[in-house]
Amino acid sequence: MIVRKNVPLLIYIFLSILLFSGNVEQKLAKANFLCRTLYYPFISSVTRIEEIFGITNENKYLISQLADKTLSVNKLERKLEQFKNLDIEFEVDNYDFILVDIIAHSGNFQERNFIIDKGRKDKIKINYPVISNRGIVGKIVSVSQNYSVVLPFNHSSFKLSVITKRNKLLGLLESDIYGNTIMSFIKLGSEITLGDTIVTSNISNIFPEGFPVGVVNSLYESQDKTHMNASIHPFADTSSLDRVIVLFYEKDKKYESELNLND
């Protein structure tokens, strides 16, 4: 009985002596032989366990990736739903954006700015364009960590290059201290009529080209009689806005450095 119990031990001792005898090549050959025969079930089990652990870790990684993708899809779906609810009347599909709330105003009624509830932590930058579902609203002029200030288009400090949508006639959008908005510096004799739609120009450093501004409702000569002005009825009513859209748009200005325009 004692001998039978010691048989496995004797076998292991014998195998150990067998493995340690001979030169390096002989030891490797014997080890490979034993791995393919006597030790195969044990080695196979260890290998299988390692494979299972590897698959488990890979599954954990894939589950983590799937969770991230699911969150991204949900975020995009919420963004799309918000976008649909805004009933945008023009194309903005090529630009990332964020929907923000107007939480306060600063300044006098016709010279006031908007304060919105998003800031630097939301990746908002100075000069980002701001729009509503009807047309342009203004631009970002100040950014803090959690808030930003919007200068609206009907503020006397706001200037923007615009064109007529019909024939690309260029002019400058500006407003007086009473909030009256005009398209100025129109060459005398230019083809512009009442009802013409005004949109942003590709010369603008703030907005992409083609964003709606308003319509022409009257024409008159400037005081110096060197050009015409067009009174504009804006599409966006800044006095009734409580929510706007900030576009993540920055114009490519590589031409400035190449032409040394900053010198």
Residue 129: is its pLDDT beyond 60? yes
**Domain-embedded: residue 101:** yes
Nearest Cα neighbor of 193 from 218, 225, 211 is 218
Task: Indicate which CATH number applies to the domain containing 183.
Answer: 2.40.10.350
- pLDDT at residue 68, rounded to an integer: 74
Q: What is the DSSP string of 116-131?
A: ES--GGGT--TT-EEE
Per-residue pLDDT reduced to its tens digit, 183-226: 999 999 899 999 999 999 999 989 999 999 999 999 999 888 88
Domain count within the chain: 3
173 and 126 housed in the same domain: no
143 and 171 housed in the same domain: no
- pLDDT at residue 4, rounded to an integer: 56
**Domain-embedded: residue 83:** no
Task: Indicate which CATH number applies to the domain containing 129.
Answer: 2.40.10.340
**Domain-embedded: residue 260:** no
Calculate what percentage of the chain has a pLDDT beyond 70.
65
**Which is more confidently placed, 72 or 217?**
217
92: number of Cβ within 10 Å = 17
Nearest Cα neighbor of 114 from 153, 162, 160 is 153
Nearest Cα neighbor of 212 from 254, 168, 163, 140 is 163
CA distance 237 to 136: 10
**Domain-embedded: residue 86:** no
Per-residue pLDDT reduced to its tens digit, 14-29: 656 665 666 666 666 6
Band the pLDDT of 111: cuts 50, 70, 90: confident
Residue 100: is its pLDDT beyond 60? yes
- pLDDT at residue 263, rounded to an integer: 45
Band the pLDDT of 80: cuts 50, 70, 90: low
Q: How big is the chain, counted in residues?
A: 263
141 and 166 housed in the same domain: no
Per-residue pLDDT reduced to its tens digit, 143-185: 999 999 999 999 999 999 999 999 999 999 999 988 899 999 9
Who's near 168: CB < 8 A, 6+ residues apart?
none
Mean pLDDT score, 124-148: 95
User: What is the pTM assigned to this prediction?
Assistant: 0.67
178: containing domain: 160-245
**Domain-embedded: residue 24:** yes
Q: Read off the tokens for 8.
A: 């496995």
167 and 104 housed in the same domain: no
131 and 172 housed in the same domain: no
Task: Supply the mean pLDDT for the chain.
Answer: 81
164 and 214 housed in the same domain: yes
* 112: DSSP letter: P
